[in-house]
Amino acid sequence: MTAALVDQPVEPVSTAGGMLRRLNLVTAIAGGLILGLAGWLISHSLLQDDDLGSDQVVLVTLSCWAAGFMIGIGALNGPIGWALGRDLRHEDELFLAGKDQGVARYFRFTTDHKVVGIQYLVVTMVLFAFGGTLAMLIRTNLISPHSHFLNPQTYNAIVGLHGLIMIIATIIMVTGPFGNFIMPIMIGARDMAFPRLNALSLWLIVAAIPTILSAAVLGGIPTGWVGYAPLADQAPPGMDAYSVFIIIFAVSSAVAGANITTTVLTMRARGMSWNRTPIFVYGTVASVGLAIPAFPLFMASQVLLQVDRTQGGQFFVASGGGSPWLYSNLFWLMGHPEVYVILIPALAALMELTPVFSRRPLFSFNAAVISIAGIVGLSIMVWAHHMYASGWAPDLNGPFMLTTEMISVPTGLLFLVILGTVWRGRIWTTVPMMATYAMLWNFIIGGITGIYLSDVPADYALHGSMFVTAHFHYTLMGAGLTGAIGALAYWFPKMTGRMLNERAGYISFWFVQIGFNVTFLGMFAVGLAGQPRRVVTYAQLFAAGNFVSTIGAYSIGIGMLVLLYAVINSWLHGQVAPANPWGAKTLEWTVPNPIPLENFEVLPVVTSDAYGYGEEDEPASGIDPEREPVLAGASADLGPRPVGASNVEGGP
């Protein structure tokens, strides 16, 4: 027996990945804590006696945390190895892509765009969980005029954290998960143009999340999510956490934006001309195209703020020769394009799925593209409407009012494109299609109320009121988040290989949408009556409206918990999905489940657009909703050219 054992060949131990084999989320957290602690010890001993010492210590500590985290996850292994003359081998690249690693690849620096998409989805859900919990605390405090559930300092800190976390979550909620997972397959690519930069953008956000959460124990963010100076110059060290978070996020968004843009420009399948490129791709590129120039302005404001706070600079302090207007303009030059960074990809996702469930081509594809381009162009010319009431450059109020009203034209045209697609369609009512209906209702309310706020006299009356809060929630949540939920329900079978629990999806939909409208219609009422925003107590006059809004917010919370249950339960135990359960025609539905590592064995050649619905041989729906979901007219395993896909041929 001993001889037999000796004679057996010994398999060589794999060395693929090198040091990356030992690095994961645990080592990243450990690295962040170790380097952060070292940074705190050194800076505390050297800088604490200075007048600006506490801010300097926080800045150094949080920066060291982020650097240690990125080292611990392995983000720098590639550049360091290249500098040392040890560039990655092919087997190392396969290890980086997560080949044959199972669930472990989701906790590593993994370059496969599909893994990054799932990681973005989980990070987005975590951010919404934090932000939503803070929203419930805010509404609980406002359930009665003097509830004293939260003290004023805690309330202000929670309002700032809630706003910032939710804004970041909504920025990445579509372009993160679906722009990474779905978009490369949709254009016929095998991966993103820069896979390592793709993973870098994700893990920078993960590293940044603890920095913003640390603000809760560093005195909070008393400025609201906008971080206005010079109040920000006087804020507690929580403001330093705010700055570090924004700087890291701006770097992440720049890296992601450059990667997505390069991928779409250079890696579309043969035959996929711009007229054959799906509208979701246009929405994704437009979103990052706005983010690339806009977010560095926000980053610049935070760099200057840190010079004020840690070096005694006076950029935003009038008594020292600075100007608070500088901060306001830097912020809103980002802050209004950011609205469309959130909105455009969500609307594009709905324009992608609406033809599928209406069984009609997208109504006026060219009008949709022109509208997206018009929004991008005008959105960088409207920022100062946020400053009508501030007194900055009053002579410019008229021109900014004009550009703000003009942007409603291309935005309204997108609304009409979706209506035209639904009109006289053979509707298949599913959870994704319900999201389209909800968006149409919510977006028209958000859009019309935005027209009021674009008018200078009306804005003077409504600025700083709960009316404004209700308006932007109808836009960002009512349209943006609703579109993201529709996209999740639509692409869930492709991303997970499972069908989303339809019953739970419907229950969640009605709880969220009814609760949403109750919450923010109540805010419109108290805002019109004169209640200001960001107040911890209020007059008895506004009691009924706030009580109604709080009950509506609880309904939203219940609905989102049901959606969370639906996602987790379906992911683990849901019905196995066929490759194309909806009978859709874009390329992501032509690959099998689970999707191969490189997506396509043979790169496709596209011969027509993806919206040829309504033809005589086109089934009314991809599956019978009462039966087992199989692709109509094709075998379940999907051969090389499935029925229901765009005209796609195998190519070299």
Torsion of CA 156, 161, 163, 167, to 10 degrees: 170
Domain locations along the chain: 18-82, 114-573
Rounded to 5°, the CA angle 283-553-345 comes to 0
What gap in Å lies between CA 610 and CA 277, rounded to an integer? Answer: 8
Q: Write out pLDDT tens, residues 99-113.
A: 989 999 999 999 999
Phi then psi dihedrals of residue 582, to 5 deg: -100, -5
Q: What is the mean predicted confidence (pLDDT) over 112-138?
A: 97
Q: Which two tokens stand for residue 323?
A: 């100007």
Largest CA distance in the chain: 95
pLDDT computed for residue 48 by the predictor: 67
Q: Which two tokens stand for residue 430?
A: 């599913």
Considering only residues 652 and 14, tell me which one the structure prediction assigns the higher pLDDT: 14
Rounded to 5°, the CA angle 569-571-573 comes to 60
pLDDT computed for residue 613 by the predictor: 87
Q: Write out pLDDT tens, residues 528-583.
A: 999 999 899 999 999 999 999 999 999 999 999 999 999 999 999 999 999 999 99
pLDDT computed for residue 623 by the predictor: 35
pLDDT computed for residue 645 by the predictor: 39
pLDDT, averaged across the chain: 90
Whether 63 shows a pLDDT value over 90: the answer reads: yes
pLDDT computed for residue 51 by the predictor: 67
Whether 387 shows a pLDDT value over 80: the answer reads: yes
What gap in Å lies between CA 50 and CA 518, rounded to an integer? Answer: 51
- Look-up of token digits 């109808």: 474
Whether 79 shows a pLDDT value over 50: the answer reads: yes
Considering the chain, what percentage of its residues have pLDDT values greater than 90?
A: 81
Whether 165 shows a pLDDT value over 90: the answer reads: yes
Q: Write out pLDDT tens, residues 589-608.
A: 999 999 999 999 999 999 99
The three-state secondary structure class of 605 is strand
Considering the chain, what percentage of its residues have pLDDT values greater than 70?
A: 91
Q: Write out pLDDT tens, residues 206-218.
A: 999 999 999 999 9
Q: Write out pLDDT tens, residues 396-455.
A: 999 999 999 999 999 999 999 999 999 999 999 999 999 999 999 999 999 999 999 999
Whether 460 shows a pLDDT value over 90: the answer reads: yes
Fold of 114-573: Cytochrome C Oxidase; Chain A (1.20.210)
The answer to whether residues 502 and 431 touch, using CB atoms and an 8 Å cutoff, is yes
Nearest alpha-carbon partner for 336 in 297, 393, 280: 297
Nearest alpha-carbon partner for 252 in 349, 191, 180: 180
Whether 615 shows a pLDDT value over 80: the answer reads: no
Whether 624 shows a pLDDT value over 50: the answer reads: no
The alpha-carbon radius of gyration of the chain (Å, integer) is: 26
pLDDT computed for residue 12 by the predictor: 52
Q: Name 204's Cβ contacts closer than 8 Å, sequence gap at least 6.
A: 66, 70, 248, 249, 251, 252, 255
Q: Which two tokens stand for residue 60?
A: 């150094």
Neighbours of 537 (CB within 10 A): 13
Residue 84's pLDDT band (cuts 50, 70, 90): confident
Considering only residues 299 and 14, tell me which one the structure prediction assigns the higher pLDDT: 299
Whether 186 shows a pLDDT value over 60: the answer reads: yes
pLDDT computed for residue 53 by the predictor: 78
Encode 152-170: b = buried (16+ Cβ within 10 Å), e = exposed. eeebbbbbbbbbbbbbbbb
What gap in Å lies between CA 494 and CA 491, rounded to an integer? Answer: 5
Cα 243 from chain centroid?
20
Q: Which two tokens stand for residue 461?
A: 């009356």
Q: What is the mean predicted confidence (pLDDT) over 633-652?
A: 36
Q: What is the mean predicted confidence (pLDDT) over 493-509?
A: 97
Considering only residues 13 and 590, tell me which one the structure prediction assigns the higher pLDDT: 590
Whether 637 shows a pLDDT value over 80: the answer reads: no
- Look-up of token digits 């590293």: 207
Q: What is the mean predicted confidence (pLDDT) over 272-288?
A: 96
What gap in Å lies between CA 303 and CA 59, rounded to an integer? Answer: 11
Q: Write out pLDDT tens, residues 319-355.
A: 889 999 999 999 999 999 999 999 999 999 999 999 9
Whether 622 shows a pLDDT value over 70: the answer reads: no
Nearest alpha-carbon partner for 144 in 546, 556, 553: 546
pLDDT computed for residue 633 by the predictor: 31
Residue 14's pLDDT band (cuts 50, 70, 90): low
pLDDT computed for residue 640 by the predictor: 34
DSSP assignment of 36-66 equals HHHHHHHHHHHHTTSTTHHHHHHHHHHHHHH
Q: What is the mean predicted confidence (pLDDT) over 510-514?
A: 97
Q: What is the mean predicted confidence (pLDDT) over 492-497?
A: 97
Q: Which two tokens stand for residue 273?
A: 């001309």
Q: What is the mean predicted confidence (pLDDT) over 447-474?
A: 94
Considering only residues 302 and 87, tell me which one the structure prediction assigns the higher pLDDT: 302
Least confident of 84-98, 189-203, 417-431: 84-98
pLDDT computed for residue 414 by the predictor: 94
Residue 90's pLDDT band (cuts 50, 70, 90): confident
pTM of the model: 0.91
Q: Write out pLDDT tens, residues 573-582.
A: 999 999 999 9
The DSSP letter of residue 12 is P
pLDDT computed for residue 620 by the predictor: 37
Q: What is the mean predicted confidence (pLDDT) over 197-224?
A: 94
**Class of residue 573 by CB neighbours under 10 A (exposed 0-12, middle 13-18, buried 19+):** exposed
